[in-house]
Structure 1
Amino acid sequence: MSVDVPAKNGLDDGEHLRVLGYDNSFNRSMSLWANFALGFTYLSPLVGVYSLFAVAMTVGGPPSIFWLFIVGGGQLLVALVFGEVVSQYPIAGGIYPWTRRLWGKRYAWMAAWVYVWAMLVTITAVAEFGSGFLASLFDAPLTKDVTLWLSILFLVVAFAFNFSGTKMLARVARIGLAAELVGVIAVGLYLLIFQRQQQFSIFFDSMGVEGDGSYGAAFLGAALAGLFLFYGFEACGDVAEEVKDPARRIPKAMIMTILVGGVSALFAFAGYVMAAPDLQAIVDGTDADPIPAILESTLGTVGAKIFLVIAVTAFLSCVLSLQAAASRLLFSFARDGMLPGHRWLAHVSPRTAVPVNALIVASTIPLLLCVLIYVGSDALLTQITAFAVIGIYVAFQAVVLAALRQRIKGWKPAGPFSLGVAGYVVNVLALLYGIFAIVLLATPGTSGVFLDDWIVLIGLGIVMISGLLYLLIARPDQKSNAPEGDAIAVAEQLRAHAG
């Protein structure tokens, strides 16, 4: 049963939502802790560090760990901007309703179109990466057939948990959070304290990755180590209508996700570097998948198996959180009449209070992408994952830019979470950081293979052009009467209600 919690601005959750033009459709059963767990398991430092540790070490060497500080700091600025926006607009769907209310329907369509495809690809990638852990747990050969069926298993099991309702989602997210904390912080600390093979000065030693060139170029090339890791906190806002007192709790959950996720990733990354028995082999690229060997040598066979159980739990929880966030975005899109089949997609189950049809789509498209990867080349997973990262960052900066535009027009965020006079400065810095990150992600590679070097921009271009064509031909913006560009007016309304 939904309970309306009085907010700091004098409005309870239901009243706040009605000021924004909507009625309660969900059960507000998610606490601050559960909301944080959802964002944290989406961000998943275990998944992020494991997926890119070898690449970061090969390209940038041990100093690539400093990208965790750089990107973590930049994304914290973005999270603070998001916090002010969601505090005024605690609406399901996150990126889409925020950009719509800050700018307009067409702008929101493009931002959300890019974001939803980036999320669907990310779901696919996490399920595929998780299949390797599951195969190792049962000593199964990691063939293409095994990878396909185990990836599908991840997707189906996560769907079943999501289908059960918000309480089950929150429960599994909390279990995933516990698994992540054990898998990254506990293991990382154990490696740092008891299995250290290197000196701490190793983090200032490039170990020759620059070759005859400048280390600055090598360090910039390792940026993906941080850029791939620090997103997921926005999922806290995707389920805003299922959280008690979301205007205050979601900004806190976002900030907690960045801070705890960053510390966790730092311990894990540092632990793997310090405990590596042959660090030079990892840096040289001769050991392409070093973490299993590090765990085997430090934890023993039984310890490594226990870690695999923890890792599989974390991967499953990550897929679960991604599915939940994507389905709420699709629901929010559909509720405003902005998608084909919007009435079907906007249906919320009266029994479980879950947007079941949107959830089916958020689970089926990644399953189809898994089949596409199965019949395609071995490099296809890496190529489509590269698009997902830049797609997320483009969507993030769409919110940051729209918020800055409203500030210039006179908007003063009216939610209970506010940065006050510092908000303008934080907004500008968040935008500058975001542009820097997008440039790094979009810079073509230097392998000489056209598709490999330009795949990020090609993928982004395909998604953006297809979205623009649909926008111009189908004109979904003309079929929707939901509010847009009303940040200043809504802020005045909320202040009037509070007064």
Structure 2
Amino acid sequence: MAHIGNGKAEPASSLVDVSKGRYSIDGVEDGDAADDIYSRVNPARPGFTKHDQKDMYRMGKIQELKRNYRPLSALSFAIVLTAVWEFLLVSNTQGLVDGGLAGVFWSYIWTFIGFGFVELSLAEMASMAPISGGQYHWVSEFAPPKYQKFMSYITGWMSTLSWQAGNASGSFLTGTMVQALLVVNYPDYVWENWHGTLLVFAMVLLLYIVNVWGAQVWPRIQNGLLILHVLGFLAVIICLWVLAPHQSAKSVFTEFTNAGGWPTMGLSLMVGQITAIYSLLGSDATAHMAEEVRDAGRYVPMSLFWSYVGNGLMAIIFLATFLFSIKDLEEALADPTEFPFLYVFKTAMPNSGVNALTIIVLILIIAANISFNASTARQTFAFARDKGLPFSHWIGHVDAKREIPQNAIVLTCMVTVLLSLINIGSSTAFNAIISLQTAALMSTYTVSVSCVLYRRFAHPELIPTARWSLGKFGIPINVVGLCYCIFCFFWSFWPNERHVNPQNFNWSVVLFMGVFFISLLMYIIRGRKVYRGPVTDIRAPRLD
């Protein structure tokens, strides 16, 4: 066997170094022998299959986390976390402003199709290398040898910060939903930013308790949450079908709105598509839980793909129902709760019904936040394990008793708390930080898909076997996925309205460049000295 290292086949040493998570053993040429040696170094645990042993051995990592997720619970985790119809319900303002009813619907359709090629590409890479690191690991393994260390490090920082920003946005969203319900029930309620921050604190406490103290039972709860996800979907659409006033089909499917003041309707639609993009972000979450999924090389990509398809199709039905139920678009956008969906609920039913449906949606989004927090912590843990972050030893520590990256969970919760404090002084500044998620995550997708596409052309013999493979369609799917990532990345920086001011300007472009330059600085100061990239631990057959 040999380590790929910086793209060169080098003889493996005879040292078995468990403490650093790497194993180099001379004389091992067949997979079964490698499995046998890995089993002796790192005995199998419940749920740890032979395929998992092969994958972990090839990637040079030890099995520190407990594989609690079975195939169905992994699929349920992906579906509940992504929560596409729920996020379309509560985060549709920009699409309604820039595009209107028809704009939201058709932009979702093309986003669902276009992002599907990205999802297929990510699913295959998750099968090639089922590991918590996700994008930065794939970049390290597939990038040109000359650039893999630098590209992987920058991608790791972008991925870590995008997931941390997304985690904060989820907690903030639940806080503002609670405040909106207070407005519905108590019209004299005065909306204060610090109220929202306190609600974020409560949300973070719940995230910490469940992801630390309830980590062993949370996978078992996923299937029940999947049922609630479906029942909640049915409850919302049936209530709207039966009780809400309805628009005409012509209004929903052909009438576009350009309330943002853009020169053309086409430009308005491009800006407004961020609603659809945001609803589908995070579809790769299960990839970061790969080290806790049984037979991850098969079931992680399956959960990524089928959760995307299932959620996406449900969202089409929901979106059409919701758009038909918007009695007056201008009134919906001007609703005092700042949530158009609450306007729709109020036109269809009394406050008791509004409360009931909103609480169901709120529970589902809180469940998504819990899973999102878990996935964020695993990605952060993995990058620290590869020495990509400061204080890596502490962040990358695994609690031996609970078999979870507890310190990474603590850090993730602390980041959300600190970011929420910004909201007290300026909600615009806080929203700017959480808007970083879309651009940063799209940049990691772009680099990841680019690197696997490069590897397909330059050294296809170095691509690991994927049990969930795109086969002969890999190259065209990767090409389309890459083009779509670049397309989304470009539009993610645009403001909501043409005439911008400090309040409505999309500050994500400033923050993205700031994060990029900070990661460059970190690479110069620290990364180039201590970060080697996970590819240096990869085992592969000799090229000769």
1:3 counterpart = 2:46:
yes
1:123 counterpart = 2:162:
no
Q: Distance in 2 between matches of 1:461 and 1:86?
A: 28
In the other structure, the counterpart of 1:383 is: 432
- Match for residue 82 of structure 1 among 113, 122, 136: 122
Q: Distance in 1 between matches of 2:267 and 2:138?
A: 36
Unpaired stretches in structure 1, ≥5 consecutive residues: none
TM-score, with structure 1 as normaliser = 0.90
In the other structure, the counterpart of 1:470 is: 522
Q: Return the offset for 1:136.
A: 5.1
SS of alignment partner, residue 437 of structure 2: helix
Q: Distance in 1 between matches of 2:256 and 2:455?
A: 47
The aligned amino acid for 1:91 is I
Change (3 A) 1:175 1:146: farther
User: What are the within-5 Å matches in structure 2 for residues 199-218 of structure 1?
Assistant: 199-206=248-255, 208-209=257-258, 213-218=263-268
Q: Distance in 1 between matches of 2:197 and 2:257?
A: 38
In the other structure, the counterpart of 2:106 is: 66
Residues 245 and 348 in structure 2, CA contact (< 8 A), matched pair in contact too: no
In the other structure, the counterpart of 2:194 is: 145
In the other structure, the counterpart of 1:258 is: 308
In the other structure, the counterpart of 2:52 is: 13
Change (3 A) 1:158 1:115: same
The aligned amino acid for 2:324 is M
Instruction: Please list the CA deviations of residues 56-98 of structure 1 after superposition, one character each: whole Å capped at 9, or x if unmatched.
Output: 1122111121111111112211111112111121112222222
Q: Return the offset for 1:239.
A: 0.8
In the other structure, the counterpart of 1:417 is: 468
- Match for residue 427 of structure 1 among 456, 478, 485: 478
Q: Distance in 1 between matches of 2:487 and 2:398?
A: 40
Q: Distance in 1 between matches of 2:349 and 2:46?
A: 47
In the other structure, the counterpart of 2:386 is: 336
In the other structure, the counterpart of 2:203 is: 154
Q: Distance in 1 between matches of 2:470 and 2:218?
A: 31
In the other structure, the counterpart of 1:91 is: 131
Q: Return the offset for 1:26.
A: 1.2
1:455 counterpart = 2:455:
no
In the other structure, the counterpart of 1:277 is: 327
1:132 counterpart = 2:181:
no
Q: Return the offset for 1:222.
A: 1.1
TM-score, with structure 2 as normaliser = 0.83
1:111 counterpart = 2:150:
no
- Match for residue 29 of structure 1 among 43, 50, 68: 68
Q: Return the offset for 1:100.
A: 1.8
Root-mean-square deviation over aligned CA pairs = 2.7
Q: Return the offset for 1:321.
A: 1.6
Q: Distance in 1 between matches of 2:264 and 2:100?
A: 13
The aligned amino acid for 2:62 is D
- Match for residue 81 of structure 2 among 42, 54, 57: 42
The aligned amino acid for 2:74 is N
In the other structure, the counterpart of 2:275 is: 225
- Match for residue 323 of structure 1 among 364, 367, 373: 373
Residues 338 and 477 in structure 1, CA contact (< 8 A), matched pair in contact too: no
Q: Return the offset for 1:47.
A: 4.4
Change (3 A) 1:59 1:299: same
Q: Which one has a larger percent helix, Structure 1 or Structure 2? A: 1
Q: Distance in 1 between matches of 2:333 and 2:193?
A: 27
Residues 86 and 365 in structure 2, CA contact (< 8 A), matched pair in contact too: yes
Corresponding residue pairs, total: 487
Q: Distance in 2 between matches of 1:358 and 1:246?
A: 22
Q: Distance in 1 between matches of 2:263 and 2:335?
A: 18
- Match for residue 346 of structure 1 among 393, 396, 400: 396
SS of alignment partner, residue 416 of structure 1: coil
- Match for residue 184 of structure 1 among 187, 210, 233: 233
Change (3 A) 1:399 1:28: same
Residues 179 and 313 in structure 1, CA contact (< 8 A), matched pair in contact too: no
Structure 1 stretch 282-291 or stretch 365-374: which is displaced more?
282-291
Structure with larger Rg: 2
Structure 1 stretch 27-36 or stretch 429-438: which is displaced more?
27-36
Q: Distance in 2 between matches of 1:455 and 1:245?
A: 41
The aligned amino acid for 2:285 is A
Structure 1 stretch 416-425 or stretch 203-212: which is displaced more?
203-212
Q: Distance in 2 between matches of 1:195 and 1:452?
A: 32
Q: Distance in 1 between matches of 2:373 and 2:263?
A: 43
SS of alignment partner, residue 291 of structure 2: helix
Task: Name the % identity.
Answer: 19
Q: Return the offset for 1:250.
A: 0.8
Q: Return the offset for 1:137.
A: 5.3
Q: Return the offset for 1:241.
A: 0.7
The aligned amino acid for 2:140 is R
Q: Return the offset for 1:208.
A: 4.7
The aligned amino acid for 2:530 is K
Q: Return the offset for 1:46.
A: 4.4
Q: Distance in 1 between matches of 2:313 and 2:64?
A: 36
Change (3 A) 1:68 1:228: same
1:479 counterpart = 2:524:
no
The aligned amino acid for 2:46 is V
Change (3 A) 1:249 1:86: same
SS of alignment partner, residue 258 of structure 2: coil
Structure 1 stretch 465-474 or stretch 198-207: which is displaced more?
198-207
The aligned amino acid for 2:57 is R
Residues 180 and 339 in structure 2, CA contact (< 8 A), matched pair in contact too: no
